[in-house]
Structure 1
Amino acid sequence: MTDLWRARWQEGRIGFHLPQPHPALIHYWPSLGVPDHAKVLVPLCGKTLDMRWLAEARHPVLGVELAPEAIEQFLAQSSAPVSRYQQAGFSISRQGNIELWCGDFFHLHIQQASEIGAFYDRAALIALPEATRQRYAFHLAQLTPPGAKGLLVSVSHQGEGGGPPYSVPHQEVEALFMPNFRVSRLEEVEPDERGLSETVWHLVRRGPLEP
């Protein structure tokens, strides 16, 4: 899996990258009621401009990405200075109020994510094969405190489709996240010319005593 994504970034096979912030983020994020200055976790962030949008909306951002090529390309989009340091197996780059942690998302621990107050997943769940998605959903729950709100974008394919992005049906999204999150479906977008349909979800981390 690591080699696959590194190869895609090295070869420029990043059709999943958008040249602008995702429309669902712009449309739905303000309605979630995430507090100002809450730090937003962006797993498998790539070089998404969604992080710039969140930062401009007064949120510190913690992006986690396996491919250093993606991080360097993101940093190069701005002339702002960059500070770099190492922590617990991650190479960390900070530019403004955006921190980019280069390393394995599954090695990020709650102590390192202690300030997280919200999360945003546009391309993490759908980048993972089925066998890894349950581990991802559980790890995300471990990193987010009760009451933390997030936006998730899933993808489904018309007919037989490979990946990544992988097709994750609605029933699987609900089965993965409902044990630890309140899950609401906000929008299902009509399939594009590739037969890919995006669905936008609102997730809220449940408390320990919440049914």
Structure 2
Amino acid sequence: MDHDFWHGRWESGRIGFHESEPNPLLLTHFPALCVPENGRVFIPLCGKTLDIGWLLSKGYRVAGVELSELAIRQLFEQLGVEPEISDLGNLKRYSADRIDIFVGDVFDLGQAALGPVDAVFDRAAFVALPQSMRADYAPHIADISANAPQLLVTFEYDQSRLDGPPFAIPGDEVTMRYKDRYTISRLATGEVAGGFKGIAATETVWLLTPRRGP
């Protein structure tokens, strides 16, 4: 992960990936995760997403990890919450009632620090990483979440016409990265309104259900 690239995006305000409302795929497909009442949802590379406020408003607990400390300060400001901040080696933890956000590299976050989670919503992390890093990322998230079910969002478009992120990820790669841990279901695919810089793109949401037994 190119830390300087992402820090630069946040510091210059070039955050077109930040959505101005909770993600509609989360709102539509969240029930498929079967998160228990007061369950804890993990959002990797969360930024200051409004998905967090939506989950909190529904009575869930939220954990996240984000490289940019600026993004997390802005997140707590928009929530109107004063966090407690603690150092955890290479990470910082911003905590308040029902929310824990870890600041630093997602690969530095272990299961012990993260704690139990009931589900993962990955809208912005898998698609933000180049292919070589996705090979390490997928099992890492499965490990630290103890194979919790996931909603995973991916995009497909002509990668030769536009550099990521977000990167184009075909369904075959989703299968390759996650098949050993999860049963994979495609829940929905639709056109990205306006595409990416005028290039046609589709968006798919996947349900990853942990495999049971051998």
Match for residue 202 of structure 1?
Answer: 207
Match for residue 154 of structure 2?
Answer: 154
Match for residue 92 of structure 1?
Answer: 93
Match for residue 141 of structure 2?
Answer: 140
Q: Secondary structure at the match of 1:17?
A: coil
Preserved CA contact (<8 Å) 2:154 2:169: yes
Which residues of structure 2 form unaligned runs of 5+?
none
Distance 2:62 2:203 in 1: 24
Q: Bigger shift: 26-35 or 11-20?
A: 26-35
Preserved CA contact (<8 Å) 1:117 1:145: no
Q: Bigger shift: 119-128 or 94-103?
A: 94-103
The amino acid that maps onto 2:52 is M
Distance 2:210 2:109 in 1: 18
The amino acid that maps onto 2:149 is K
The amino acid that maps onto 2:24 is P
- TM-score normalized by the length of structure 2: 0.92
Kindly tell me: are residues 96 and 191 of structure 1, through their superposed partners in 2, closer, same or farther at Cα, counting changes over 3 Å? same
Give CA-to-partner distance per residue, 1:102-137, whole Å, 9 cap, x none: 011111112123311211100000000111001000
Q: Secondary structure at the match of 1:116?
A: coil
Distance 2:174 2:124 in 1: 14
Distance 1:26 1:74 in 2: 20
- Shift in Å at residue 33 of structure 1? 1.2
Give CA-to-partner distance per residue, 1:14-52, whole Å, 9 cap, x none: 101101000010011023311122211111111111111
Matches for 1:1-211 after TM superposition, within 5 Å: 1-146=2-147, 148-158=148-158, 160=160, 161-194=162-195, 195-207=200-212, 209-210=213-214
Preserved CA contact (<8 Å) 2:182 2:209: yes
- TM-score normalized by the length of structure 1: 0.93
Preserved CA contact (<8 Å) 2:159 2:167: no
Distance 1:113 1:159 in 2: 34
* Structure with higher helix content: 2
- Shift in Å at residue 71 of structure 1? 0.7
Aligned residues: 208
| Identical counterparts, % of pairs | 36
Give CA-to-partner distance per residue, 1:78-117, whole Å, 9 cap, x none: 2222211122321111233121110111111121233112
- Shift in Å at residue 159 of structure 1? 5.9
Root-mean-square deviation over aligned CA pairs = 1.5
Distance 2:165 2:86 in 1: 31
Preserved CA contact (<8 Å) 2:53 2:79: no
